[in-house]
Amino acid sequence: MPNPTQLNTSSAAAYPVATALFREASDAGRTTLNRSELNTLLAALGSRLAEDLAPVLTSNHGELRVGLHNSREFGLVLSAGLGGLDGELCESNFRQDRAAVHAAVELCGSADFLQRFKHTLAYQKLAGYARHAQGSVPDEQLTQLFEQLLQLGRGAAADAGAPWVLQTLTLELLVSERQLLVSSAQCSFSSPPAARLPRPIAKIDKLLHPRSIGLIGVSATSMNFGRIILRNLVGSGYSKTQLSVIRPGETEIDGVKCIESLKTLEHKLDLLIVAVAADAVYALVDEIIASDAVESVMLIPGSLGETKLSREPAAALAARINAAHGRAGGGPIFLGANCLGVVSHPGAYDSWFIPLERLPKPQKKPQRNSVMLSQSGAFMITRLSQNPWLDTSYMLALGNQTDLTHGDLLTYFAARPEIETIGIYIEGFKDGDGLHFAKAVRTAVLSGKQVVLYKAGKTAPGSAGVLGHTASIAGDPALFEAVMRQAGAIVAEDINSFDDLFYIAGALHHKRIGGNRLGAISGAGFEAVGMADAISSDTFSMQVCELQDGTVKRVEEILLAKKLAALVEVRNPIDINPGADDEAHLQITEAFLLDPNIDAVVVGLDPTAPSVRALEASKLRPGYDINDAKSTVQLMPPMVQRNDKPIIGVIDGGTLYDAMAARLMDQGVCVFRNCARAAKALVRYCEARLYADSLRQRPAKN
Kindly report, residue by residue over 375-427, the tens digit of the pLDDT.
999 999 999 888 888 889 999 999 999 999 999 999 999 999 999 999 999 99
Indicate the length of the chain as a whole number.
702
Assigned architecture for domain 511-693? 3-Layer(aba) Sandwich (3.40)
What is the C-alpha separation between 584 and 427, in angstroms, rounded? 47
φ, ψ (nearest 5 deg) of residue 523: -95, 0
pLDDT at residue 465, rounded to an integer: 43
Assigned architecture for domain 201-507? 3-Layer(aba) Sandwich (3.40)
Q: Are 645 and 450 in contact (CB under 8 A)?
A: no
Query: Cβ contacts of residue 633 below 8 Å, gap of 6+?
Result: 613, 626, 627, 660, 663, 664, 667
Closest to 216 measured CA to CA, from 235, 243, 240: 243
pLDDT at residue 90, rounded to an integer: 52
Tell me how crowded residue 221 is: count the other CB atoms within 10 A of its CB. Answer: 7
- Residue intervals of the chain classified under CATH 3.40.50.261 are 201-507, 511-693
Q: What one-character-per-residue DSSP string does 61-114 give?
A: -EEEEEEEEEETTTEEEEEEEE-GGGGGS-GGGS-TTTSEEEEEGGG--HHHHH
For residue 94, list its beta bridge partners: none
pLDDT at residue 3, rounded to an integer: 39
Q: Are 439 and 73 in contact (CB under 8 A)?
A: no
Closest to 527 measured CA to CA, from 609, 604, 632: 604
pLDDT at residue 358, rounded to an integer: 76
CATH of 4-190, one of 3.40.50.620, 3.40.630.10, 3.30.470.20, 3.90.1150.10: 3.30.470.20
Quote the distance between the C-alpha of residue 359 and its chain's center.
25
- Residue intervals of the chain classified under CATH 3.30.470.20 are 4-190
Strand spans (E) along 192-316:
213-216, 243-246, 252-253, 256-259, 269-274, 294-299
What is the C-alpha separation between 289 and 320, in angstroms, rounded? 9
Q: Are 374 and 415 in contact (CB under 8 A)?
A: no
Q: What is the mean pLDDT of each run of 10 residues along the chain (702 residues)?
A: 38 83 96 95 87 50 86 95 67 65 94 92 82 74 93 91 94 78 93 92 98 97 94 93 96 96 94 95 95 96 82 92 96 95 94 78 73 94 86 93 97 97 96 96 98 80 42 66 96 95 96 96 86 85 94 97 95 93 97 97 96 95 96 98 97 96 94 94 96 87 49
Q: Answer whether 0.95 is exceeded by the pTM.
A: no
